[in-house]
C-alpha cells in the first residue's frame, strides 16, 4: 500500500467569459414613449400611456421618454454646470471629496471604491445581485469621475439632529459661483418629475395614481453628475464591463449627451447601446421597484463603455424613496401564480448597504441605524 495520501481539491470555477462589444439598439428594441398626454386632461390617453410604460418596465426595464415637462434650458444649464465643475483642478474638486462625510455626497474621484472598515447597512437576498462575490468581476480602470447631491438639510432638521443615516447637507466646491444653486434647482425640478413618473407607474400597476407619494415625502433622491474620459476600445470595454450593475433605488432618470456609451444587457445576453436622443430621458427600473412589483418589473444590468474618442457627460437622477420606507410586494403584483418573493426590505438600510460598499466615506457608526 502506498504511503502517499491524496488531498481532495476544490473544483475550479470556470473563467469569466471575455466581455463583448455592444451593438446599437434597433428602434423596436428600446421603447420611446411620448409623455405629452400627461400634461393634458384626457384620462384615457393617460391610461394608455401608463400601460405602455408598464409593458416596457416589465419587458426590458428601460425606456426613453420624450415630450416630458422638464424645460430644455434646465437640462442645458445642468450640463453647463457639470462641465464647469469637472474642469476645475483636482485640488479644488477634492475640497468637496465624498470621503469627508458619511453621507455619500460630493466629489468622487476616478476609481475610488468603498472600504470594508466603513461597511454599514443591511440588505436581503435578491437586492443588488451583481454584488454577489461569485458574480463580481475584478475592477478594471474606468476613467470616470462624479459629483452627487441630495436634499439639502439644515443642521436643525429633526432627522439630522437624530443622526438618521443619509440625511444632512451636501459638500460643495469653494470657487464655483452659481454651481450649488443650479444643482439644487435641478434636484427640485427632477423631484417633481419623479413624482409624475411614480404616478404613471402606479396607474400601470392598477394602483391609485398617488400611491407612491406616501413613500416620497422626504426622499433620498440623488443628482449625480458624471464625466467619462475616452479610452481605447479594449480598456473601455474591460472597465465598463467590470462595473456592469443594476440600479438600487426605485427608478433612474438619465440625461446623456450625444456621445453615447450607455449599454444595457438584453434577455438574449447581447449588449445594446442606447441611442442618445436630445432632451429625452432614459428611464430605468431599479432593484427596489423590481422588488416592490414582486419581480414583475425588470431591473436590467447596464454599463458605460466610452471608446468614441470624446469625453462623455451624463446627468443621472436616482429616485430613491424615504429612508424609513419598508418595501413589501405590492398587492396588485401578488396572486396564486405569483406568490411573494420576499417579506419586506427596509429601503434606507438597503441603500446604506450598497453605498458603503461602492463609495468612500468616513465610516463612522450611525446614531440611528436599525442594524
Going residue by residue through the chain, which has 371 residues, state the pLDDT in tens, using 9 for 90 and above.
444 443 344 444 444 566 788 999 988 899 999 999 999 999 999 999 999 999 999 999 999 999 999 999 999 999 999 999 999 999 999 999 999 999 999 999 987 777 777 888 888 999 998 777 766 666 676 789 999 999 999 999 999 999 999 999 999 999 899 999 999 999 999 999 999 999 999 999 999 999 999 999 999 999 999 999 998 889 888 888 888 899 999 999 999 999 989 999 999 999 999 999 999 999 999 999 999 999 999 999 999 999 999 999 999 999 999 999 999 999 999 999 999 999 999 999 999 999 998 899 987 666 555 43
Residue pair 286/351 in contact by the 8 Å Cβ criterion = no
Instruction: Identify the residue whose cell numbers are 437576498.
Output: 125
Instruction: Identify the residue whose cell numbers are 468581476.
Output: 137
pTM equals 0.91
358: nearest Cα among 190, 146, 186: 146
Separation CA 221–CA 319 (nearest Å): 5
Residue 309 CA: distances (Å) to CA of 163, 174, 260, 274: 45, 31, 11, 18
Looking at residue 2, what is its pLDDT? 42
Separation CA 48–CA 200 (nearest Å): 10
Per DSSP, the three-state class of 327 is strand
End-to-end CA distance of the chain: 57
Rg, the chain, Cα only: 21
Separation CA 95–CA 99 (nearest Å): 10
Residue pair 341/299 in contact by the 8 Å Cβ criterion = no
Angle 191-317-360 from CA coordinates, rounded to 5°: 120
The domains found in the chain, sorted by start residue, are: 31-358 (2.60.120.330)
Residue 270 CA: distances (Å) to CA of 29, 138, 192, 224, 262: 12, 21, 34, 27, 13
Looking at residue 14, what is its pLDDT? 44
Looking at residue 367, what is its pLDDT? 56
Amino acid at each position: 500500500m502506498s504511503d502517499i495520501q491524496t488531498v481532495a481539491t476544490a473544483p475550479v470555477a470556470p473563467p469569466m467569459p471575455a466581455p463583448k462589444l455592444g451593438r446599437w439598439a434597433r428602434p423596436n428594441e428600446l421603447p420611446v414613449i411620448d409623455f405629452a398626454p400627461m400634461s393634458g386632461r384626457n384620462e384615457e390617453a393617460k391610461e394608455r400611456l401608463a400601460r405602455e410604460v408598464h409593458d416596457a418596465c416589465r419587458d426590458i426595464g428601460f425606456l426613453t421618454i420624450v415630450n416630458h415637462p422638464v424645460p430644455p434650458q434646465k437640462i442645458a444649464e445642468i450640463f453647463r454646470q457639470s462641465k464647469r465643475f469637472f474642469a476645475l483642478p483636482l485640488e479644488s474638486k477634492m475640497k468637496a471629496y465624498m470621503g469627508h462625510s458619511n453621507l455619500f455626497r460630493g466629489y468622487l474621484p476616478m476609481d475610488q471604491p468603498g472600504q470594508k472598515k466603513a461597511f454599514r447597512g443591511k440588505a436581503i437576498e435578491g437586492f443588488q445581485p451583481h454584488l454577489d462575490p461569485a458574480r463580481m468581476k475584478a475592477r478594471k480602470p474606468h476613467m470616470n469621475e462624479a459629483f452627487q447631491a441630495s436634499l439639502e438639510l439644515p443642521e436643525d432638521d429633526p432627522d439630522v439632529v437624530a443622526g438618521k443615516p443619509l440625511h444632512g447637507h451636501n459638500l460643495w466646491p469653494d470657487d464655483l459661483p452659481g454651481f450649488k444653486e443650479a444643482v439644487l434647482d435641478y434636484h427640485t425640478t427632477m423631484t417633481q418629475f419623479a413624482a409624475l413618473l411614480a404616478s404613471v407607474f402606479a396607474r400601470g400597476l392598477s394602483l391609485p395614481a398617488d400611491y407612491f407619494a406616501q413613500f416620497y415625502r422626504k426622499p433620498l433622491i440623488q443628482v449625480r453628475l458624471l464625466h467619462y474620459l475616452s479610452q481605447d476600445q479594449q480598456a473601455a470595454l474591460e472597465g465598463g464591463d467590470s462595473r456592469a450593475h443594476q440600479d438600487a433605488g426605485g427608478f433612474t432618470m438619465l440625461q446623456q449627451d450625444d456621445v453615447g456609451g450607455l449599454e444595457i444587457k438584453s434577455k438574449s445576453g447581447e449588449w445594446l447601446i442606447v441611442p442618445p436622443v436630445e432632451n429625452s430621458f432614459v428611464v430605468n427600473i431599479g432593484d427596489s421597484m423590481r422588488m416592490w412589483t414582486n419581480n414583475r418589473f425588470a431591473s436590467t444590468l447596464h454599463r458605460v463603455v466610452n471608446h468614441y474618442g470624446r469625453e462623455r457627460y451624463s446627468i443621472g437622477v436616482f429616485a430613491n424613496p424615504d429612508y424609513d420606507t419598508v418595501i413589501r410586494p405590492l398587492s396588485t403584483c401578488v396572486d396564486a401564480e405569483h406568490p411573494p418573493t420576499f417579506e419586506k426590505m427596509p429601503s434606507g438600510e438597503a441603500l446604506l448597504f450598497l453605498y458603503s460598499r461602492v463609495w468612500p466615506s468616513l465610516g463612522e457608526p450611525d446614531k440611528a441605524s436599525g442594524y
